[in-house]
Structure 1
């Protein structure tokens, strides 16, 4: 269990979904990932299409029909209401005008007790994660997910790699490849990973036996070049997500 903590009580955080005006991070920290090697074809854009806008977040394919993203990406920040599922599209492995596959969404699973909060504080982000069931399989190798049995491998010295489709570069994923866990507060990770709007829901990878595995989900930005990630401990019990409930809306 991680036992180092920071004090950020009451600090408001900035959501990273892509529909508000862009607040850019230090782009010198980002490197473009222009490769089709695993796990990058599994990282993609979750688009919300409407008659007056196109919003975007990042999501990761973790099963043939399952993606992982931030919960707030599934809500309209102007109204506080969930987006209609028929307006959601996951586009895997976006590379300029190419991609690894596209699917609509059938249903969504949130953590128990989740509620949408338009202006969250740090403590509110611990449930900002969602597992989404796609309408059809996408034929790429899903990204591996961190095993809770390996918790002791994560320390303050553990290197993190945070990826996303940031608004400064919408059609190629970018990566902060050398950040770390700065502390744990209210059940979320405070990281030194740089980020900006559009990267919400993006994967935070760690290297396990020479394989990048998803250990966290980007949620929000803190001041002073810090970001918030929801760790695997908050969403691993929602997996697998092999079928929608019979009552789920289509």
Structure 2
């Protein structure tokens, strides 16, 4: 049984060793030469994250899967399980170069297929749930730039509104938290309702945004990857960081910024 942890005044704190053992299904996604994001198991061999995490910002191409590592439960140099990625599938309509940031948020999901499954007794996958209600308490578990070596939790934050296929939340995501699972609690069990895609400021309040998972879009991505429809492009040589993916294109509002490292 999961309990909603108490939270520090800043809204986000590092999980204790005991707490972290219950969240080993969340892990750090390391991209060789390009920083990291956060992801969560949704099956023994599938990891949910943000689509922009798997694109190189300079080449504008998808990163080669064999350069991606999933570190389940990574905490202070120890890991519950380490797996390389076999294949990547992003939302069919996701466009990394789209000029409209809000449109990208609504399609910003990817599923990574691991080379080998992680047994559930080591890291348990999370179930998903439909779009959250306005005001519904949420929790975000993430690896961020200032706390990259251990998972932190922000709880409770809340759903501010749901607009089209985007969830706007009071959660204060930090850089590195892209792809972090957003949880709601149903009878004490955490279920994923969104994935952190971007952060913004609205009326002086720091907020974060992610895609809803309730209209079959995630299931289509899962179906594509399990049927062998996954694809990737070999990225061009050169290294870089996966930061500020959103709000960079011309024609966008410039309001949103991704929280990739």
The Cα offsets for residues 106-142 of structure 1, whole Å up to 9 and x where unpaired, read as 1112222222137651122111100110101123233
Of residues 74-83 and 113-122 in structure 1, the stretch that sits farther from structure 2 once superposed is 113-122
Of residues 170-179 and 105-114 in structure 1, the stretch that sits farther from structure 2 once superposed is 105-114
Provide TM-score, normalisation by structure 1: 0.79
Q: State the match for 2:222 in structure 1.
A: 239
Q: Distance in 1 between matches of 2:48 and 2:230?
A: 21
2:194 to 191, 206, 216: 216
Provide TM-score, normalisation by structure 2: 0.76
The Cα offsets for residues 187-223 of structure 1, whole Å up to 9 and x where unpaired, read as 1001100111110000000001110111110001011
The answer to whether residue 22 in structure 2 is matched with residue 42 in structure 1 is: no
1:124 to 101, 104, 113: 104
2:128 to 146, 149, 159: 146
Q: State the match for 2:147 in structure 1.
A: 169
The Cα offsets for residues 10-42 of structure 1, whole Å up to 9 and x where unpaired, read as xxxxxxxxxxxxxxxx9922111123432x101
Of residues 75-84 and 236-245 in structure 1, the stretch that sits farther from structure 2 once superposed is 236-245
Q: Secondary structure at the match of 1:116?
A: coil
Q: Distance in 1 between matches of 2:179 and 2:9?
A: 19
Q: Secondary structure at the match of 2:32?
A: strand
Q: Distance in 1 between matches of 2:31 and 2:207?
A: 27
Which aligned pairs between 1:102-113 and structure 2 lie closer than 5 A? Answer: 102-113=82-93
Q: State the match for 1:62 in structure 2.
A: 42
Q: State the match for 2:237 in structure 1.
A: none
Q: CA deviation at 1:62?
A: 1.4
Structure 1: give runs of 5+ residues left out of the alignment: 1-25
Q: State the match for 2:180 in structure 1.
A: 202
1:229 to 200, 210, 214: 210
1:137 to 117, 127, 130: 117
Answer yes or no: is the 8 Å Cα contact 1:56–1:198 preserved in 2. yes
Structure 2: give runs of 5+ residues left out of the alignment: 1-7, 235-261
Answer yes or no: is the 8 Å Cα contact 2:68–2:84 preserved in 1. yes
Q: CA deviation at 1:186?
A: 3.5
Q: Distance in 2 between matches of 1:227 and 1:33?
A: 21
The answer to whether residue 54 in structure 2 is matched with residue 71 in structure 1 is: no
Q: Secondary structure at the match of 2:144?
A: coil
Q: CA deviation at 1:99?
A: 0.6
Q: Distance in 2 between matches of 1:246 and 1:190?
A: 31
Q: Distance in 1 between matches of 2:145 and 2:9?
A: 11
Q: Secondary structure at the match of 2:148?
A: coil
Q: Secondary structure at the match of 2:149?
A: coil
Q: State the match for 1:23 in structure 2.
A: none
Q: State the match for 2:156 in structure 1.
A: 178
1:193 to 163, 168, 171: 171
Judging changes above 3 Å, is the alpha-carbon distance between structure 1 residues 33 and 117 closer, same or farther for their aligned structure 2 residues?
farther
Q: State the match for 1:16 in structure 2.
A: none
2:11 to 23, 29, 37: 29
Of residues 233-242 and 162-171 in structure 1, the stretch that sits farther from structure 2 once superposed is 233-242
